[in-house]
Amino acid sequence: MWGRNDLALGRDASSRFLPGLLAVMVFLAALAATGALSARGFIASWDARLDGSATVQIPPPSTGTGTRVERREAVMRLLRVTPGVQQARPVPEKTVARLLEPWLGAELAGALPMPTLIDLRLSADQPVDLTRLAERLENAAPGTMIDDHARWLSDARTLARTVTVTAGVVLVLVVLAAVLAVVFAVRTGLAVHREEIEILHLIGAPDRYIARQFQRHAGRLALVGGIIGVVLASGTLMGLRWWLTGTGPGSGPGADEVFSPAGLTALVQAAGFGWLEWAVILLLPFTAALIATVAARTSVLAVLARMP
């Protein structure tokens, strides 16, 4: 791969612009790929976390509806006897207050009456009829609502799909642009080195010998550019992660924290940056080199084949 070059392609303009161009391409590809992978990881993680869970929300008591504790106990009694509800756990008031704090401010959150939240774990084999349960909850404590996060998860899935498709489009465009850049460089090189190529032909070089000179050159430049791009992308991603999550590694939010800003940050962190993401990133320079090699070889052979 690092063999000699009879054509001194290293002195061509392509040696100056191709690595930079391919660095940008690989940088974009790295961001797109990790964006897509993160979105998938994010959804998988939240599917696992939220699937089979639900949250019951009892609004603060108003006149004639019983006390806070009465209402909560009525709901808990009902939940305990509902088939399919494996566990019902009231969320401590302090936690609820903390959740609302960022939205309301500490003072207001302390002063306003809080709703009561109950975390449910639902059985997988015994599906709960949520519509019926909602009706019965309304009877037990008027104004009570149940949310199984289905809607939220479905929105999040749509978002993840959008991110994935966008990343896919970006990747295709990046590859296309990289191929075009290599083809352009190769065609320029063929024109610049026409005389030397003719000499090589006259002393018996087949087209693929010429192609080899160009493909090595392009592959090497793409590898260099790819490494630069990946270093930049890794730096950017790590910086972004650090900025979004603060320094320490977090455990991700609990189901009851999903809707808080702190929860959002934790989400990004939960999306995680695992070995798969790193493997994809580390493979990018080699992928770029391979694509450049194939593009260079193909275009050299195509141009030479049209010669008499």
Partner 1 sequence: MVRFENVFMRYDGGPVILRDVSFRLEQGSFHFLTGASGAGKSTLLRLMYLAARPVSGQISIFGRDVTTLSRRERPMARRRIGVVFQDFRLIPHLSALDNVALPLRIAGTRESLIREHVPELLAWVGLSGHLDALPATLSGGQQQRIAIARAVISRPNLLLADEPTGNVDDRIAVRLLYLFEELHKMGTTVVIATHNENLVKRFDHPRLHMEDARITDRSASRSASAAAATTAAGE
- Which residue type does 82 have? T
Minimum distance from residue 204 beta carbon to partner 1 (Å):
4
Of the pair 111, 305, the CB lying nearest partner 1 is at: 305
The residue whose two tokens read 């940050």 is: 265
Cα 164 from Cα 35, distance rounded (Å): 7
Minimum distance from residue 181 beta carbon to partner 1 (Å):
25
Of the pair 132, 208, the CB lying nearest partner 1 is at: 208
Minimum distance from residue 219 beta carbon to partner 1 (Å):
19
Minimum distance from residue 199 beta carbon to partner 1 (Å):
5
Using alpha carbons only, what angle is made at residue 102 by residues 101 and 103, rounded to the nearest 5 degrees? Answer: 90
- Which residue type does 56 have? V
Of the pair 11, 16, the CB lying nearest partner 1 is at: 11
Of the pair 14, 34, the CB lying nearest partner 1 is at: 14
Of the pair 283, 304, the CB lying nearest partner 1 is at: 304
137 neighbors 75 (Cβ within 8 angstroms): yes
Of the pair 4, 94, the CB lying nearest partner 1 is at: 4
Torsion, CA 9, CA 12, CA 13, CA 19, rounded to 10: 30
Residues of the shown chain interacting with partner 1 in the complex, contacts defined by CB under 8 A: 4, 6, 8, 11, 196, 199-207, 209, 304-305, 307
The residues with which 89 forms a beta bridge, in sequence order, are 119
Cα 249 from Cα 91, distance rounded (Å): 25
Cα 77 from Cα 93, distance rounded (Å): 19
232 Cβ neighbours under 8 A, 6+ residues apart = 23, 27
Residue 215: its H or E element: helix 207-245
Minimum distance from residue 250 beta carbon to partner 1 (Å):
58
271 Cβ neighbours under 8 A, 6+ residues apart = 38, 39, 41, 42, 45
Minimum distance from residue 6 beta carbon to partner 1 (Å):
6
Residue 290 C-alpha from the chain's centroid: 25
Minimum distance from residue 197 beta carbon to partner 1 (Å):
10
Of the pair 48, 203, the CB lying nearest partner 1 is at: 203
